[in-house]
Chains A and B, each alone.
Chain A
Amino acid sequence: MYTIVTLATFVTMGLALVRAVLGPSVYDRVLAVNMFGTKTVLLLSVIAFLFGRPDFLDLALAYALINFIGVLAVLEFFRSRSLRRRAERGATR
């Protein structure tokens, strides 16, 4: 039964990868990475039970906690980039 969920997650990871490679906009890629992260958390929690070592859920917990940082870093990157561009435009005017 775990195998079915694992396979579904695998296929979804593949689909998210398709989205990340195709794009087209950078936001699509961020979305794909975020989705990939959630799917990895699910995959790791299910596989921990599939292999019979539920004490390894720490790994999924780590991802559940810090995947968010990547998205925020991207957000901050966009924000500082738009500020920089505005400043450059102001300077050349």
Chain B
Amino acid sequence: MELLGLFHYWVFAILLMTGFYAVIAKLNLVKKLIGLTLFQAAVFLLYITMGKVDGGTAPIFPDGTAAGIFSNPLPQVLILTAIVVGISTTALGLGIVVRIKEEYGSIEEDRIQETDRR
């Protein structure tokens, strides 16, 4: 049970590195952005995991008073805004990729560099 309590953090590590692998090893720019989104999701999960309290419930008072155990609201606030910011910045990244495709005719990193060298 003690080790199972760390499972969430291990998944965070694996997810983080899976996303990172896509960013550094894949040459396709859209795939890199997908990797970045996974990376983001891993960080979101880490924050929310840290806010969980045993036996707690969501920090919305059922009867208007603070009686009972509640999970930590602070990481939830940070991640709530981060999700919407994340999709906006991903859209910005996709916009840049679309423009690169129009200018270079490709979204593969190696071909773009080849075009640049010429």
Contacts and interface: CB of A to CB of B under 8 A. Distances in A.
Interface of A: 51-53, 55-56
B57 A51 contact: yes
Interface string B14-58: 000000000000000000000000000000000000000000011
8 contacts: A51-B57, A52-B57, A53-B57, A53-B58, A53-B62, A55-B60, A55-B62, A56-B58
Interface of B: 57-58, 60, 62
Nearest to B60: A55
Contacts of A53: 57-58, 62
A51 B57 CA distance: 8
A55 B58 CA distance: 11
B37 to A, nearest CB: 16
Contacts of B57: 51-53
A75 B57 CA distance: 39
Nearest to A53: B57
A51 B56 CA distance: 10
B76 to A, nearest CB: 13
A26 to B, nearest CB: 16
A51 B71 CA distance: 14
Contacts of B58: 53, 56
A56 to B, nearest CB: 7
Contacts of B60: 55
